[in-house]
Structure 1
Amino acid sequence: MTTCQVPAALIHQIQQELDEEEEEMMVFLCRDLAPDLANADLRELLVALNEREKLSLLGLSELLYRVKRFDLLRRILKTEKATVEADLARSLSLVPDYRVLMLELNENLEKEEVRSLIFLLRDYTPRMKMAKDKSFLALVIDLEKLNWVAPDQLDLIENCFRSIHRIDLIKKIQKYKHEAAMCSAHSQPVYVNALQASLPNLSLIDPPYHSGIQNVNKEKSKNGQSLILAEPVHMSIQESGAASYEVFDDKYRMQSQPPGICLIIDCIGNNADMLEKTFRCLGYDVHCHKYLNMKNMNQTLIEVARLQKHRNCDSFICILVSRGNSTSIFCTDHTFSGFPLEQVKVYFRADSCPELVGKPKLFFIQSYIVPDNEQECTSLLEVDGNDENFLANAEIPWKVTIPQVADIFWSHCKVNVSTLEKSSNSSSYYLRCLAELLCSPHKRKLSILDIHTELNRRVYEWNKTADPGQQYSLLLQHTLRKKLFLSAI
């Protein structure tokens, strides 16, 4: 067996784990690698690529990475998401950037939006079967067959996205065009559509990408009649790399690997495993602690705030689960002295943690509220989040133009402690919904504010049928200055 070949049993095992939508995505990604097998199913396609020595374990890892099946990377291929990303960063990619872009656009479209696109494109695909349940990827393939869409011909899709008010997706295309224009003339991604594959005299390799936008208004159909399209979207593409960031300055940068440190402190013990799995899947460096008393809680927060690794990360996440009251958490101490929640913010503000200046800091708090008559009145724990010793280890910039309290996202959920008495092993519904939303391929592509809106809706739907003592109260406060997407877009 050559080093390029993959065991047939491995292909079979992976194919059995994928659902229909994931198989469609993989076939789409491989479309250029075997143009003569445009109508093959996934197994047939992978077997053919394997026999032609075009498929390797590295390539198979990339395909699973592209369809977000990180669990199969770990369980079947015995590799990690970060390892695949490192390989892709070294340009060891099997899939052309154009295919990756189309897949990202597909993940960001709702079914209703795809139906709108199908309607808008009826005039350009008159011979194609435009079923209502057609996917965006299937629609792209139809357009490729008619030469309406190609790696350097995306104006038609841009115009349709403007019609459905998806300017964010237009920006994705413009970013792709800009990066393609910066590529060397020697970088020639292999691309072929089904129409080209049927014509033997056409090259299977496109000429290098160029930054010019084709004037689709002057395209003609095969019968010579002019096809009048909407005016192309004119969005300037900056010549210099630095200036190109102006288009995307409304979003926080989320490109570091890992995207940040995620600190989980679960003093109840019923949520930590679920949360750890969720944020590891998102690529975070997770630090998980259970059953801390207040002294250890304070020390853990200080140690994490001092980590130099924040410098190379783009965000920070902190999740706290404990008994408490409206302003403090009790940890595992028998005396309800309380650790002030406001102090948690202080540790990670710009003055205390300069490595996180300008970066989003997310806090998710689940408090199981203990009634006042059950709390012991003892003194609060002394904390040193802003003392001289703590700040002495931080290199404070001479000029900090971003407010110290900026870039904080604070989601605080409260529920009566009697919820634990009813089922001590049951996880928080609030945190369970948060994990589900972040694990959903479509939902996690939303901004964090949109995700929290959906979280609000689910929690309040729960409250409609829950006993008054089991209802959740959810409060969101934030000082974010930009849109935040936990998944790279």
Structure 2
Amino acid sequence: MEDDVSLKFRQQLLLIDENLVAEDVAALKFLCTDLLPFKKLESVESAVDIFQLLMAEEYLKEEDTFLLAELLYRIKCHSLLRKLGYTKEKVQECLHEKGRVSPYRQMLYELSENITNEMLKDIIFLLQNYLPKRRITLVCEERANCVFGRKGRRSGGNRRKSMKINCYKRAKGELERVFTWLGLDVRTYTDLTSQEIKDLMRTWQHLQDHKDRDCFICCILSHGESGAIYGKDEELVSIRMIMSHFTAKQCPQLAEKPKLFFIQACQGKEIQCPVYVEADARIPDLSSMQQSISASESIPEEADFLLGMATIDGYVSFRHVQQGAWYIQALCSKLQLLVPRGEDILSILTEVNEDVGRRVDRLGTKKQMPQPAYTLRRKFIFPIPTDPPPSQQHRGF
């Protein structure tokens, strides 16, 4: 990057990069095709690469970030606009005067939103005699990435199963493998609007087979703000509202049964900084604090819940570009390690806190602290699986 770019500006760009996945990068590459040399775009592997190219051409400066805001607006990453000091409405107001993405490029990108995988294959077939083979391959790769699977924010009939982001797909797949290994009946739903999330919670609330289950576990991978997550329509859904469907009063079949919620989402904009301390204090034994409480004739309405948040209120959460979210990595790793040892869920989540708390970003300036909250009245211990954990099994990918 240029020497005159401030550290704060670099951190802003890195934070935006960390919240974009491969499909977002492909979309940015396509929208920048008229602005940047094609040969340089071919070698782009991350959003940071695009930012560097834009700065080299003086499209992106510390004092002028509108083009980046426009690009984020075009690919519907509206929540990231705040990191540049913009809102969706403010960008819309300035587009007529300051917009740089050509109407032609906008039109092609918007058309791609409605192109299915089958339609894309037909287009490539029709173009075989008109475009060089290498160019067709690039079109296929770029447009497929732009069309399919952007952070679960788009809808589209039979495309829904294929619309999974790489990093979220990896995290969801790992969770599915671990929970299946634990003997759970895994059901997945993706790419939901805020209203669809609410409708799904009501559907789950009235499932008749709750009476045959020992517990209920819900994992959500999304973006978020304080106390809420985003649907694909960028509307917020309260986490408390989600959990309220499964209280003893609202869902009697789950009364006295553990209800576990794991939420991978930011809870604000603040970044936790590292604090360096001397390791001179012993970690107390928590077992004496985790006493079982004897059952009584009645229980509080909101008893037996556990909420595992990826980060504390007001702060962002982080992910590794290839390996996925720090919290999901740690959760899956510790479940596989500690369930066979008979550890209870609170002890496991304490280890998750320790794991995530040790992680740091590339610059060594950002930290993350998960936060479990619970009203469990007894220890929750998964049955020990007979098979080896997924991390020790051969994977075919």
Give TM-score, length-normalised by structure 1. Answer: 0.36
Highest CA radius of gyration, 1 or 2?
1
Give TM-score, length-normalised by structure 2. Answer: 0.44
